[in-house]
Amino acid sequence: MASYPQTIHFIGTNTPRRVEMSLRNLEVEGDIPAEIEGAFFRAVPDNAHAPMFEDDIALNHDGMIARFNFEGGAVDFDIRYVETERYKLEKKARRALFGRYRNPFTDDPSVEGADRTVANTTPVWHAGRLFMTKEDGRGYEVNPHSLETVGRWDYEGKLRSQTFTAHPRIDPVTGEMFFFGYEAGGLCDPNVAYCIADKDGNLVKEQWFEQPYISSIHDFVITEKYAIFPIFPTLTDLDRLKAGGHHWAHDQSKPSYIGIMPRYGDVSEMVWVEGPVGVSCFHEVNAYDDGDLVHIDLCLSDTNAFSFMREAGGIQRDQQDIKGALTRWTLDMSKDQPELSERPLGPPGDLCRLADKDQGRPYNHAWYLSMNPEAKGPPMLGGPVGANFNALLRVEVGNGRVSMMEVPPGCAISEPAHVPSSEEGHGGWLLTVIDIPNGPPGGNPADYASEVWVVEADAVEKGPVAKVKTGLALRSQVHGTWVSRAKLDASKVR
């Protein structure tokens, strides 16, 4: 295939852009708070070549690393491809050689055995290094200054797991990074690697355990005492893959489970607790210990949010009909076999963010994206599921109080990054990319202008204090991360 299909994975904010560039001194409306000094890194899927198959999906697109560098009130923008093994092979061939999402049996025979990951999901900063990650492979280290790819990261050859999650958790007090990789031993392997890297970035622990079924484990959570693996019935199957089919199919009839073990413990201590049937979740917000209780806050829905994962499981449901809520699951760990209780915390949504200091600790509030029920007109097309969010919420998890930032009709909002404040009692700032249609509703969905809005994190309802204008239509990001100037200056890669 030499041209791009016209599906939800290639239109709107998923329109292929494929431009590597650097722009200095973006136009700024308003004043950027002086304490915002550092880089907002974003992971952007944008395939360099037209796909091999018409039914290709955005999750399968080459990762680009983008950066908004905030320096002295000015902002620069840079974006580069992550030069994965796959990217380099296809660049040389001038065409796609890797087939369907996470199905090596659909690849061109010339690339058999090559690393298939596209490193397109989350920029991760730990111990002075920047990684671009995707859950189907190891991370790729990227130079945070030049955005050049350094290479695949395996902890100096120590990591056994072939995969590395896009959602590690960093303890704000110890500086340790807790992470995992599922399908750790290769395609359809039930083993999960549970790992700890110390504050200096040394791999100090790697243990493998089997999950009850081979599910997509996108995220996990830690508390001060526990490591917690909520898993959901979106399952893989080797025979389906060999027949050229989808990696994931949601099974509406199977239960979810929560695996919980002491975070410094042995995987033999893992306890599996059964959860509700048929539900799905990609992102947990946070978890914390409350005496013997453990609270796990998650973006829960009644089925899988991705249409291709539902359809592969024979589920026909319109995107708008999916129900969900920001939900709290509580486990009582004083019981030998803990029971799960559930209560709603907020409206449905996803792409949640937490202040780094609150990770795994009792906390008061978080942010996430949702659909504004009052928004006029349809949402902007694009993003991983095909329709973008249009409301940014701040939720107080103790009392359920929700505040919302509205955007003009038809705009898309992407996941915010949180910038802490040095001022006592100030909740810091959010940076979020907003895509604003250039024409009237119903116009060309690829024609929009992307801006970074700077928002007071505890007053989202007030709207932005500054807008950074790119003058470009940027492709949708998946996740982003904020790295302060002090951390950048101390990076291990110069």
Q: Where are the alpha helices (DSSP H) in 219-287?
A: 238-242
* Phi, psi of 357, rounded to the nearest 5 degrees: -70, -20
384 binds ligand V55 (CB under 6 A): yes
Nearer to ligand V55, 313 or 464 (CB): 313
When binding is defined by CB under 6 A, the residue of 14, 121, 370, 432 that contacts ligand V55 is 121
Nearer to ligand V55, 415 or 456 (CB): 415
120 binds ligand V55 (CB under 6 A): yes
Nearer to ligand V55, 121 or 372 (CB): 121
When binding is defined by CB under 6 A, the residue of 218, 240, 247, 418 that contacts ligand V55 is 218
List the Cα angle 122/125/27 in 5-degree steps: 75
Dihedral of CA atoms 107, 111, 112, 113 in degrees, nearest 10, equals -120
C-alpha span between 306 and 285 (Å, rounded): 19
Identify residues 341-360 at the interface with ligand V55 (CB under 6 A): none
C-alpha span between 211 and 296 (Å, rounded): 19
* Phi, psi of 267, rounded to the nearest 5 degrees: -60, -20
Dihedral of CA atoms 316, 8, 218, 399 in degrees, nearest 10, equals -80
What is the pattern of x (binds ligand V55, CB under 6 A) and - over residues 122-141? ------------xx------
Least spacing, CB of residue 121 vs ligand V55, in Å: 4
When binding is defined by CB under 6 A, the residue of 11, 28, 59, 249 that contacts ligand V55 is 59
386 binds ligand V55 (CB under 6 A): no
When binding is defined by CB under 6 A, the residue of 282, 329, 389, 482 that contacts ligand V55 is 282
168 binds ligand V55 (CB under 6 A): no
List the Cα angle 215/479/21 in 5-degree steps: 130
List the Cα angle 251/161/490 in 5-degree steps: 115
* Phi, psi of 83, rounded to the nearest 5 degrees: -85, 75
C-alpha span between 172 and 243 (Å, rounded): 45
List the Cα angle 166/171/173 in 5-degree steps: 155
Least spacing, CB of residue 57 vs ligand V55, in Å: 9
> According to the annotation, is 295 in a ligand binding site?
no
Nearer to ligand V55, 33 or 379 (CB): 379
Least spacing, CB of residue 134 vs ligand V55, in Å: 6
What is the pattern of x (binds ligand V55, CB under 6 A) and - over residues 75-114? ----------------------------------------
C-alpha span between 2 and 469 (Å, rounded): 33
Nearest to 10 by CA among 63, 79, 59: 59
Nearer to ligand V55, 40 or 282 (CB): 282
C-alpha span between 102 and 188 (Å, rounded): 10
| Cβ atoms within 10 Å, residue 17 | 17
> According to the annotation, is 167 in a ligand binding site?
yes
Residue nearest to ligand V55 (CB): 59
Nearer to ligand V55, 120 or 286 (CB): 120
Task: At 315, list the tokens.
Answer: 């589920």
307 binds ligand V55 (CB under 6 A): no
> According to the annotation, is 365 in a ligand binding site?
no
Contact 66, 116 (CB under 8 A): no
Nearer to ligand V55, 43 or 466 (CB): 43
Least spacing, CB of residue 361 vs ligand V55, in Å: 25
What is the pattern of x (binds ligand V55, CB under 6 A) and - over residues 227-266? ----------------------------------------
Task: Please tell me the count of residues contacting ligand V55 according to CB under 6 A.
Answer: 10
C-alpha span between 322 and 330 (Å, rounded): 23
C-alpha span between 153 and 264 (Å, rounded): 23
Nearer to ligand V55, 134 or 328 (CB): 134
Contact 434, 445 (CB under 8 A): no
What is the pattern of x (binds ligand V55, CB under 6 A) and - over residues 440-459? --------------------
Nearer to ligand V55, 4 or 282 (CB): 282
Are β-strands 169-170 and 221-222 bridged in parallel, bridged antiparallel, or unpaired? unpaired
Distances (CA, A) of 444 to 124, 380, 385: 34, 11, 19
Nearer to ligand V55, 261 or 366 (CB): 366
Least spacing, CB of residue 75 vs ligand V55, in Å: 25
Binding residues for Fe cation: 167, 218, 283, 479
**Chain positions contacting ligand V55, by CB under 6 A:** 45, 59, 120-121, 134-135, 218, 282, 384, 478
Binding site: which residues? 167, 218, 283, 479
